[in-house]
Chains A and B, each alone.
Chain A
Amino acid sequence: MIPTFGAALRRAIRSGFALFILLLFLSPVFWMLITAIKPPGEWLNSPPIFWPSHIDLGNFAEALVHWGGFKGLVDSLAVASGATALSLVVGIFAAYSLGRFRTGGENLSFTILSVLFMPPVAVAVPMYLFWRAFGLLDSFSALILQYTVFNVPFICWVLKSFFEDIDPAMEESALVNGATRWQAFLHIALPQARPAIVAVALLSFIFSWNEFFFAVILTRARVTTLPVILPTLMEGHDIRWGSIAAIASIAALPVICLAFALQRYLVRGLSFGALR
């Protein structure tokens, strides 16, 4: 079929509209990034300054050194990677067990799924008292374990259906040929599940990196992740908008880069494995 002028025009209009939507949705992000490179005099202006007179990276220096940005970055990285690694270890084994041996049947799977939908505030009080009893408030271990508890059900749910779909015949023939269950899992099931594992690892990392509620409740001064630093800087009169924008950008850019680098895994992760 030869595209007519009308069809080409319609396509151009659709593309233009989609582009407009993207710009609209990204404008608050752009505004943050622009503020982060504005010199101090241009943070607040009436009328607002849409493009800085010169690019000033002083905000980043100030944010990293004076406002705890560097410590926040290190803490966030430690908590997010620790929680992701631990959740993967626990989650993969549990999911394999659920998917391959149907441990606990459908009921157990559903119970695990329901944990995902629990409002965090519902378990906030018991978890606070729990960590307090162990003297673990304001510690890395508490935050990492807490996020693991939230990541594992998600990982289980996504990977379970994936392991179910993998044909058990290959593992069984390996078992017949003298491999242990462990070897069959490690060399046959695990490599096949890799795309799904990347997806859940990506989402676990993003969740742990972004998490705010438990970080506010369980930590004070020793552990300060980036999301928690932000609101503390927005109090008071002399708000350093540029520096806050710099910290916010430092918090936002890693997950944006990760999401683009691992784009094709994002759908599976975000849809809880319901879509591939």
Chain B
Amino acid sequence: MVPALAIFAANAIFPLLYALDVSVRNYQLLIPVPPQFIGLENYARILSDPLFWSSLKVTLWFIAGVVFLQLPASLGLALLFDSLPRWAGIGVTILLVPTIIAPSVVGFQWAQIYNYQFGPLNYLLGLAGLGHPVWTASPTLALPSLVAIDFWEWTPFMVLLLFAGLRSLPADILEAARVDGSSYPKIFLRIMLPLLRPVIGIALVLRVLMSFKTFDIIYILTAGGPGAATENLAYYTYIQGFRYFNLGYASALAIIQLIVVAILAKALIGLTRKPSFAGAA
């Protein structure tokens, strides 16, 4: 049983060490000279690379979408489904369809929806007299369009987690509060929300860390464009590594992402483990 573990550990640790090694060399696949050690030059170049900073900003947009849109919406929807008598469970499973289908299928579906000329969305907007935006081809609307897809794809996932959390709340406490005559908003704020806090934490941690990986819908719908308007860190790293074959530079980008993700993970996990529920409401 331990050998299995050893194989796995080697598989996970090797790429990290190797990436670290490549990141301090000027490794370019298209130039047939042996890569040289250049120290931290790749890292220094990244810090003065405007495309790095703009891709970081795009990544932060996706995270903002998770925190400010997906979390409140999923909390509301989880409460809604929890209040349904019979078909709540099957309803949440149906809602999950966008999450479980392949992200590249999601990309195709939204390419149809956002189609400038023939898409159903612009048709409906046209009926309402609201114009014909070009969505993913527009410098201003492209990023919000992708954040909207992310919302559609992943809010159901958060709903599922919060719904399961709501269903596992101690029924007797909620019933006692109701019998005592507490109003629903009060029960929600004083009892449900504090009890739900660990689950909300788990959902938030998972989604924030996952949003760093957003790649497929960008690849399919905008290829990072127009310009670099929808190029997030993951996509920019891909471009550097597998379009320009600047493997050294891409590895340095990757290491920076790893550090950011590790710091975030540590901070967020600490947040969810806080034992005191006092300030939660």
Which A residues contact B (CB, under 8 angstroms)?
A: 11, 14-15, 17-18, 21-22, 25-26, 28-29, 31-32, 35, 44-48, 50, 90, 93-94, 96-98, 103-104, 108, 111-112, 114-115, 117-130, 149, 152-153, 156, 206, 209-210, 212-213, 216-217, 226-228, 230-231, 234, 241, 244-245, 248, 251-252, 255-256, 259-260, 263, 266-267, 270-272, 274-276
Cβ-defined contact, A259 with B100, below 8 A: yes
Contacts of B93 in A (CB 8 A): 259-260, 263, 266
Chain B residues with Cβ below 8 Å from A44 are 115, 117-118
Q: Which residues of B contact A270 (CB under 8 A)?
A: 99, 157, 160-161
Check B224 for interface membership: any CB of A closer than 8 A. no
Question: Mask for B80-96, Cβ within 8 A of A = 1, else 0?
Answer: 11011100011101111
A77 CB to closest chain B CB (Å) equals 14
> By the criterion CB–CB under 8 Å, are B2 and A103 in contact?
yes
A209 touches B262 (CB 8 A): no
Flag whether B71 is at the interface (Cβ < 8 A): no
Smallest distance from the beta carbon of A240 to chain B beta carbons, Å? 12
In the bound assembly, the distance between CA atoms of A112 and B4 in angstroms comes to 13
CA distance A35 to B119 in the complex (A): 12
With known contacts A47-B123, A212-B215, A121–B238 Cβ distance under 8 A: yes
B250 touches A (CB below 8 Å): yes
Contact with A along B88-122 (1 / 0, CB 8 A): 01110111111111111111111111010111100
Asked if B100 contacts A21 (CB within 8 A), the reply is: no
With A31-B120, A114-B265, A271-B164 given, can you name 14 additional A-B contacts, CB distance below 8 Å? A14-B84, A22-B95, A50-B120, A90-B7, A108-B5, A119-B261, A121-B233, A123-B19, A124-B237, A125-B254, A127-B15, A212-B103, A230-B107, A230-B108
Report the bound CA distance from A93 to B5 in whole Å: 8
* Inter-chain contacts of A11 with B (CB < 8 A): 85
Give bound CA distance, A272 to B79, whole Å. 22
Residues of B within 8 A of A119 (CB): 212-213, 233-234, 254, 257-258, 261
Contact residues on B (Cβ < 8 Å of other chain), bracket: 35 or more
Contact residue among A22, A129, A210 (Cβ-Cβ distance under 8 Å from B102): A210
Do the beta carbons of B237 and A121 come within 8 Å of each other? yes
How far, in whole Å, are A93 and B2 apart by their CA atoms in the complex?
8
Q: List 5 A-B contacts (CB under 8 A).
A: A21-B80, A44-B118, A126-B15, A251-B101, A272-B206
A212 near B104 with CB under 8 A, answer: yes
Determine if B105 and A252 form an interchain contact, defined as CB atoms under 8 angstroms apart.
Answer: yes
- CB under 8 Å from chain A, chain B span 10-35: 11-12, 14-16, 18-19, 22
- Residues of chain B within 8 A (CB-CB) of A227 are 102-105, 216
The answer to whether residues A255 and B100 also contact, given A118-B258, A122-B254, A129-B247 and a CB cut-off of 8 A, is yes
Interchain CB contact under 8 A, A125 and B19: yes
Give a binary string over B151-173; 1 marks a CB under 8 Å from any A CB, 0 the rest. Answer: 01000110011001100100000
B-side interface residues toward A, CB under 8 Å?
1-2, 4-5, 7-9, 11-12, 14-16, 18-19, 22, 77, 80-81, 83-85, 89-91, 93-113, 115, 117-120, 123, 152, 156-157, 160-161, 164-165, 168, 199, 202, 206, 209, 212-213, 215-216, 219-220, 233-234, 237-238, 241-242, 247, 250-251, 254-255, 257-258, 261-262, 265
Task: Find out whether the CB atom of B102 lies under 8 angstroms from the CB atom of A251.
Answer: yes
A259 to B98, CA, bound (A): 12
The 6 A-B pairs with the shortest beta carbon distances in the complex, nearest first, are A210-B102, A126-B18, A122-B254, A227-B104, A126-B15, A123-B15
Residues of chain B contacted by A206 (CB below 8 angstroms): 100
CA distance A163 to B140 in the complex (A): 51
What's the Cα separation between A130 and B96 when bound, in Å? 36
Task: With A22-B91, A97-B1, A272-B206 as known contacts, state yes or no: A125 contacts B241, CB within 8 Å.
Answer: yes
Per a CB cutoff under 8 Å, which of A48, A122, A217 touches B255?
A: A122
- Please state if B103 and A210 are interface contacts (CB–CB under 8 Å): yes
> Contact check: which of B94, B168, B215, B250 meets A275 at CB < 8 Å?
B168
Contact of A31 with B113 in the complex, beta carbons under 8 Å: yes
Contacts of B90 in A (CB 8 A): 263
> Known interface pairs A251-B101, A256-B101, A270-B160. Does A121 touch B202 (Cβ–Cβ under 8 Å)?
no
